[in-house]
Amino acid sequence: MPSIRARIWNGRPLPCEHDTLPIARIGTVQPHGVMMVVVPETGCVEHVSANVEEILGVPARAVLGQQPTMAFQDPESVRRLQDILRPGRRFFENPTPLQARGRAFEAICHLRDGRLFIEIEPYVTAEHDYQTMVSAAVDAISRQTTVQGLYAAAARMMHFVTRYDRVKLYKFLSHGHGVVVAEQHAPDSKLPGSFLGYHFSASDVPEAAKEILLTGKTRQKPTQRGSVPLLMRGPDGEPTESGPRIDMTDCWLRGIHPCDNGYNNNLGVGSNIIFPVCLDDSLWGLFVVHNKDEKFLNYDSRAVIEQLTMMFASRLVELEAGEARIEERQRLAQQMVATVEAAQAMLSSTPNLRGDHGNSIRLHAMHAMSRHVAALAPTYVSATGLDRAVAGNPEDRFSFDLLRLADADGAAVLRAGPGGHVHLIGATPDALAVRGLAALFGSRLPAFEEGEGRVFATDALGDFAPLTPDLIAVASGLLAAPIGNRGDMILWFRKERVIDAIWAGRPPSVAELNSEKMFRPRDDFAAHRAPLAGASRPWLESEVLLAAQFAVAVSQAWQGTRRDGAEPMPPPEAAPVVYADPALEPDGMGARSGRAFTMLPGAAAAGPWAAAS
């Protein structure tokens, strides 16, 4: 089942010429290590990197078609490689220490597409052992109590493990752009320039690269010296370039595109590592670690950093939920659902009240209930003036709570059917526009899927539908959850947030994005001020999940399925209309005006939040 993250659609980056670069099938390998691609059934090398002779002293021609052991004389290394080649192995305890030509190496193995990848890297010692690094990381991450503190602590830990000149924590925003939210410099950093707070254009990370980063794969580039080709046996038996045949998504040694090398050279970076932070099905951000000089980290250090990013992600979700007061909002949602349930139960139990002016106590109670749940109860109007319908007033507690529940600027409750209406709260598009937006589900917006998490959220609605500037201003953020299957829906809105952004270099224009320029490394990183618009504050996963759960609970309350023994409610379009007395106090269960109340069946509501169709 897809995670709730799959229901959140951030704004899409503009298409860019280099989006489809064959990064995973680049056909080259970084020069500091040897890659062997082995057919597991035979244990023989099918592809090997061209630098095998330079590093292991055996020509590629001799390795191809043979077992990898032929490149090693050290008996213990041969035994370990034979264990790796044991038929049926699916997992490997990486790294495996090897010796060749008097040098220490580490083999890192994985399976992909029916091939065994053996990556042989030179071994370097780390400043700390694995246990020390991981203990320090756990301690630093778990002690944090704020999101900003977590950012800073994680950047510090990245530096503790890597000892690189500069660590940047980069968070993706809507439209694929990003901002540096934390930075850590070595005390003697050779890269003193700071990018803290700087925005980077989406085009800096091609979509194909994002796909690989989404797998959680860390990228280490110890040197910017280019790459060597991966070779296979050609038709004449001689080594020939493998080209795009091999998918190197999970490989540490995957070659670097010249454009990427050029980008780092222009930044003055000689070595870098990129660690993706993945939250469920999405790429939250990146740790980008820079060193002025060439530098290489051993496997255990990289493993610690990968684990650090996972712990970071776990703690981030907790702290974000804490800062967004999700638990408080969950309690609020429960109270609201209980109110709706109580009102619905009361309405269900008093079918004979119609025209019964004597039963004023029960009617008063009903009225008070309906006053609170106007938006989420059957159609509700004011008895003495449709323009004074209390449910739409900002001081109405239930309406206010509905906004608080999603931390939204506005909300709309859309009731379908003959008695349908649109109830608007706070800053929203008008009722007609709300109906128009609701109609987009299944066409421009995805249809709500069945099962858990029937919800849709975006912080950039304008990316999915042509919206007027007015609509973008008020409804860039949309969180929508259906209530049942009849077309009823709650929509929450967030206003557009225009950021006065400082960019690391001028972001490319649309014309530039679709030009050959995108295949040349960027060389402008000077501060450039330009607004970042077209998106709202993003929705948190916990907020989206809460909205989905709330809508399900309301739907169940409407159907009378949440309370044991409760009678199912009549279909919404046939539900009664409660005429309420606006003179009652907002909490007016006990308040009495002495006026008569009348229930009328099936009448459509009118007034500012009434039927728009």
- The residue among 135 and 349 lying less far from another protein, judged by its C-beta, is 135
Q: Which part of the chain contacts another protein (CB under 8 A), choosing from 162-170, 279-287, 379-387, 520-528?
A: 279-287
Residues 431-460 contacting another protein, CB under 8 A: 452-453
Q: Which of 314, 335, 509, 613 binds another protein (CB under 8 A)?
A: 314
Nearer to another protein, 313 or 373 (CB): 313
Q: Which of 315, 371, 494, 495 binds another protein (CB under 8 A)?
A: 315
Distances (CA, A) of 261 to 32, 508, 523: 15, 19, 12
Please select the residue that binds another protein; options are 126, 141, 577, 584, rule is CB under 8 A.
141
Query: Is the preceding peptide bond at 95 cis, omega within 30 degrees of 0?
Result: yes
**Under 8 Å between Cβ of 466 and 389:** no
Binding mask 380-419 for another protein (x = CB under 8 A): ----------------------------------------
485 binds another protein (CB under 8 A): no
| Residue range at the interface with another protein (CB under 8 A); choices 308-316, 377-385, 566-574, 597-605 | 308-316
Pairing status of strand 456-458 against strand 8-9: parallel
User: In angstroms, what is the minimal distance from the CB of 63 to another protein?
Assistant: 27
Q: How far is the CB of 176 from another protein (least distance, A)?
A: 20
Residue 82 or residue 135: which is nearer to another protein going by CB? 135
CB nearer another protein, residue 91 or residue 531: 91
* Residue 118 CB neighbours (<10 A): 22
Q: What angle do CA 285, 316, 6 make, to 5 degrees?
A: 60
123 lies in the site for another protein, by CB under 8 A = no
User: Should residue 132 be labelled a site residue for another protein when binding is judged by CB under 8 A?
Assistant: no
Query: Does residue 279 interact with another protein by CB under 8 A?
Result: yes
Residue of the chain from 74, 280, 430, 449 that contacts another protein (CB under 8 A): 280
Joined tokens for residue 232: 């296979």
Binding flag, residue 92, another protein (CB under 8 A): yes
The reply to whether 94 sits near another protein by the rule CB under 8 A is yes
What type of residue sits at position 111?
L
Decide: is 142 part of the binding site for another protein (CB under 8 A).
yes
| Binding flag, residue 311, another protein (CB under 8 A) | yes
Count of residues in contact with another protein, rule CB under 8 A: 41
Instruction: Give 240 or 282: the residue with its C-beta nearer to another protein.
Output: 282
Note whether 98 and 74 are within 8 A (CB).
yes
Between CA 410 and CA 252 the distance in angstroms is 47
CB-CB contact of 377 with 557 (8 Å): no
Quick one: which of 5, 115, 292, 362 contacts another protein (CB under 8 A)? Answer: 5
Sign of the C-alpha dihedral computed for residues 364, 369, 370 and 371 taken in this order:
positive
Q: What is the three-class DSSP state of 273?
A: strand
* Alpha-carbon dihedral sign for residues 47, 53, 56, 57: positive
CA-closest candidate to residue 495, choices 405, 426, 398, 392: 426
Q: Which helix (H) or strand (E) holds 279?
A: strand 271-279
Phi, psi of 300 (to 5 degrees): -60, -40
Q: Does 288 bind another protein (CB under 8 A)?
A: no
Q: Which is nearer to another protein, 154 or 437 (CB)?
A: 154
Contact between residue 575 and residue 376 where contact means Cβ atoms under 8 Å apart: no
- 3-state DSSP helix/strand/coil % of the chain, to nearest 5: 35, 25, 40
Largest CA distance in the chain: 101
Query: Using the rule CB under 8 A, is 39 a contact of another protein?
Result: no
Q: Where are the alpha helices (DSSP H) in 85-202?
A: 130-142, 147-162
Q: Note whether 154 binds another protein by CB under 8 A.
A: no
Report in angstroms how near the CB of residue 92 gets to another protein at its nearest. Answer: 8
Question: Nearest 10 degrees: CA dihedral of 234, 235, 237, 241?
Answer: -10
Contacts (Cβ under 8 Å, ≥6 apart) of 18? 203, 206, 259, 518, 519
Residue 362 within binding range of another protein, rule CB under 8 A: no
Question: What span, in angstroms and rounded, lies between the C-alpha atoms of 114 and 218?
Answer: 22
Q: Which stretch binds another protein (CB under 8 A): 42-50, 194-202, 277-285, 521-529?
A: 277-285
Q: Which residue in 118, 134, 209, 269 binds another protein (CB under 8 A)? A: 134
Find the binding residues for another protein in span 190-229 (CB under 8 A): 216
Judged by CB, which is closer to another protein: 48, or 288? Answer: 288
Give the tokens for residue 79. 């035994």
DSSP state of 69: G
* Backbone Cα Rg of the chain: 31
Strands 103-112 and 96-100: antiparallel
The answer to the question of residue 249 lying near another protein (CB under 8 A) is no
Regarding 310 and contact with another protein (CB under 8 A), the answer is: yes
The reply on whether position 135 binds another protein by CB under 8 A is yes
Q: Is residue 306 at the binding interface for another protein, with CB under 8 A as the rule?
A: yes
What part of residues 524-553 is at the interface with another protein (CB under 8 A)? 541-542, 545
Interface stretch with another protein, choices 16-24, 252-260, 304-312, 412-420 (CB under 8 A): 304-312
| Structure tokens, 9 | 């659609």
Stretch that binds another protein, among 1-9, 73-81, 552-560, 594-602 (CB under 8 A): 1-9
State the sign of the Cα–Cα–Cα–Cα dihedral 434, 437, 442, 448. Answer: negative
Residues that bind another protein (CB under 8 A): 1, 3-5, 90-94, 110, 130, 134-135, 138, 141-142, 216, 250, 278-281, 303, 306-307, 309-318, 321, 452-453, 541-542, 545
